[in-house]
């Protein structure tokens, strides 16, 4: 939890956003984040973000599901309560395949979605600062982190030179917190 000062620039097209992001990264200002209304391909590369490892997590969850299913069914039918089904072997692996497959998918999907929410720090009740109400509509927003020593006019002029359609200085919470979206936060009222 930390209230910080931001210089915000809004762009109205991803084609303007890319050169702007390049300039911002070269300018020496501290880039807080970039917000877009839809996934912009190549933006993660332009920002120098690493590829996500979410799919690796998914694989691990899937394998966990596979071994849970096979292990559980094997233990039940071979050790805990062996039942003779028409003289068939207790350890009837082919008959275990459907449930094993389903649990693999179930574990992978549930695990991945929970990991996704954890990594992105999202869940019902979470609130984050929205720099521009149209950042989920049609604006591409770049937020720079500044402090009291930054020359605000200079930052704004710089952002305007990158073809921003709208610029502003905002004081806002930089992390997430629990809150209601229909209520204003103390820092917003100040």
- What are the residues binding another protein (CB under 8 A)? 15, 33-40, 43-44, 47, 49, 51-52, 54-55, 58, 62, 72-73, 76-77, 80-81, 83, 85, 88, 92, 95-96, 98-99, 101-103, 105-106, 108-110, 112-113, 116-117, 119-130, 133-138, 176, 180-182
Nearer to another protein, 98 or 154 (CB): 98
**Residues 69 and 100: beta-carbon distance below 8 Å:** yes
* Closer to another protein by Cβ: residue 101 or 187: 101
Cβ of residue 64: shortest distance to another protein, in angstroms? 14
Q: Are 125 and 178 in contact (CB under 8 A)?
A: yes
Burial of 146 (0-12, 13-18, 19+ CB in 10 A): buried
Please report how close the Cβ of residue 157 comes to another protein at its closest, in angstroms. 25
List the beta bridge partners of residue 10: 141, 166
Smallest gap from Cβ 125 to another protein, in A, equals 7
Which residue spans within the chain are E strands per DSSP? 3-11, 30-35, 126-127, 140-146, 166-173, 177-178
């Amino acid at each position: 939890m930390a209230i910080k000062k931001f210089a915000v620039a809004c762009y109205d097209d991803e084609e303007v956003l890319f050169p702007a992001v390049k300039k911002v990264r070269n300018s020496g200002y501290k880039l807080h984040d970039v917000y877009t209304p839809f996934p912009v391909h190549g933006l993660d590369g332009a920002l120098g973000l690493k590829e996500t490892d979410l799919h690796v997590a998914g694989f691990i969850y899937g394998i966990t599901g596979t071994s849970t299913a096979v292990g559980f069914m094997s233990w039940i039918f071979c050790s805990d309560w062996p039942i003779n089904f028409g003289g068939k072997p207790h350890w009837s692996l082919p008959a275990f395949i459907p449930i094993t497959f389903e649990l693999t998918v179930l574990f992978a999907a549930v695990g991945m979605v929970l990991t996704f929410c954890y990594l992105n720090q999202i869940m019902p009740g979470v609130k984050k600062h929205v720099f521009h109400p149209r950042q989920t509509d049609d604006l591409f927003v770049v937020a720079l982190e500044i402090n009291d020593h930054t020359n605000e006019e200079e930052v704004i002029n710089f952002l305007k030179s990158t073809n921003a359609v709208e610029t502003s200085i905002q004081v806002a919470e930089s992390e997430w917190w629990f809150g209601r979206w229909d209520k204003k936060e103390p820092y917003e009222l100040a």
